[in-house]
Amino acid sequence: MLKTIERTLRWSTGLMAAVALFTIMWLTLVDVTGRRFFDHSVPGGLELTEILMVIVIFGALPMVSWRNE
């Protein structure tokens, strides 16, 4: 039972960090492309990236701690 909960938590925090990192990647791509070709950037893009970085760091931190890396 405890192993199942641990595995589920590890999987969900890893997924959360991966989705946040993927979102940062696409947000940056859209922001740079919009600035370069359309002369408009994503409103609040920098703030969203900062918030998502917190999610990436604190989402991956439990995985690293569980593995003793």
- Domains of the chain, residue spans: 2-67
* CA 52/CA 63 separation, integer angstroms: 17
Mean pLDDT of 7-14: 87
Model-level pTM?
0.80
pLDDT the model gives residue 69: 62
Mean pLDDT of 50-59: 92
* CA 32/CA 34 separation, integer angstroms: 5
pLDDT the model gives residue 18: 93
Place of tokens 């604190």: 58
Question: Is residue 56 scored above 70 in pLDDT?
Answer: yes
What tens digit of pLDDT does each residue of 27-43 get? 999 999 999 999 999 99
The total of other beta-carbon atoms located within 10 Å of residue 64's CB is 9
